């Protein structure tokens, strides 16, 4: 009886600690990955808010259109790095890193600082993939570059890359498949308007 009580007490304590750790990681992910790097870069480098120009998006592609390639690349690095930093900070606190990887992209897309608005998720997704698998990251980057070069459209490159990344992880890193699938669905949702413009042949060039 005493042993059973001790076991139950341990399980309750462990569950409470696990829950608190996950909540802490959730807050870290939300506050870090919601940071609108494109707005920071645009305002600091060119006094330009990318939300007021072209597609109105805060991601790398629109910052590139509004503020040039240097600002676009810095935005890409910033959006990727914030996911890596968030996962690294949470790695010692929580075991649910795949869930947090999805949440990194989610909070980038639905930023708590922008009333639920945000980017399309591709750059942040690349940071998540890099954290878990360098090989999958390289496949994604090369795929994006080749598709972008052939199509001249960032949205086509993004949508094509998530399909390739999903297939690659399914055959090479099966444990990442559900994470990449979840991220892919989220990216497709965020690219809904791009898909409609592609179908009507009105999509913006990079």
Q: Summarize pLDDT for 183-192 with one digit per residue, the tens.
A: 999 999 998 8
Query: Residue 5 above 60 pLDDT?
Result: no
Q: Residue 103, CB half-sphere, CA atoms under 13 Å: how many?
A: 19
Sorted by sequence, the CB contacts under 8 Å of residue 159 that are 6+ apart come out as 187, 188, 191, 194, 195
Burial of 7 (0-12, 13-18, 19+ CB in 10 A): exposed
Mean pLDDT value of segment 193-206: 77
Q: What DSSP string describes 117-176?
A: ----SHHHHHHHHHHH-HHHHHHHHHHHHHHHHHH--HHHHHHHHHHHHHHHHHHH-GGG
Chain center to CA of 184: 10
Burial of 113 (0-12, 13-18, 19+ CB in 10 A): middle
Rounded Cα gap, residues 98 and 79, in angstroms = 18
Mean pLDDT value of segment 169-197: 88
Q: Residue 204's pLDDT band (boundaries 50, 70, 90)?
A: low
DSSP class of residue 50 equals: G
Query: Residue 4 above 60 pLDDT?
Result: no
Question: Interior CA angle at 15 toward 14 and 21, to 5°?
Answer: 90
Predicted TM-score of the model (pTM): 0.87
Q: Residue 72's pLDDT band (boundaries 50, 70, 90)?
A: very high
* Mean per-residue pLDDT of the chain: 87
Neighbour tally for 90: CB within 10 Å: 24
Q: Residue 25's pLDDT band (boundaries 50, 70, 90)?
A: very high
**What does the domain layout of the chain look like in residue ranges?**
2-199
Q: Residue 105's pLDDT band (boundaries 50, 70, 90)?
A: very high
Query: Residue 148 above 50 pLDDT?
Result: yes
Query: Residue 127 above 70 pLDDT?
Result: yes
Q: Residue 56's pLDDT band (boundaries 50, 70, 90)?
A: confident
Higher pLDDT, 10 or 69: 69
Q: Residue 2's pLDDT band (boundaries 50, 70, 90)?
A: very low
């Amino acid at each position: 009886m005493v042993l059973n009580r001790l076991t139950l007490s341990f399980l309750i304590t462990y569950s409470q600690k696990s829950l608190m750790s996950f909540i802490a990681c959730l807050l870290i992910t939300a506050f870090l990955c919601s940071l609108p790097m494109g707005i920071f870069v645009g305002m600091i480098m060119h006094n330009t808010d990318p939300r007021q120009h072209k597609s109105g998006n805060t991601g790398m592609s629109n910052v590139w259109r509004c503020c040039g390639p240097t600002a676009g690349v810095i935005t890409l690095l910033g959006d990727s790095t914030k996911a890596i930093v968030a996962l690294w900070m949470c790695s010692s606190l929580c075991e649910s890193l795949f869930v947090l990887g999805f949440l990194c992209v989610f909070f980038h897309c639905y930023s708590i600082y922008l009333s639920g608005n945000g980017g399309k998720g591709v750059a942040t997704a690349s940071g998540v993939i890099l954290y878990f698998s360098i090989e999958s990251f390289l496949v994604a980057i090369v795929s994006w570059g080749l598709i972008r070069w052939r199509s001249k459209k960032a949205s086509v490159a993004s949508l094509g890359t998530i399909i390739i990344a999903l297939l690659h992880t399914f055959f090479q890193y099966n444990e990442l498949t559900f994470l990449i699938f979840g991220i892919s669905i989220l990216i497709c949702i965020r690219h809904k308007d791009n898909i409609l413009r592609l179908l009507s042949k009105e999509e913006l060039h990079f």
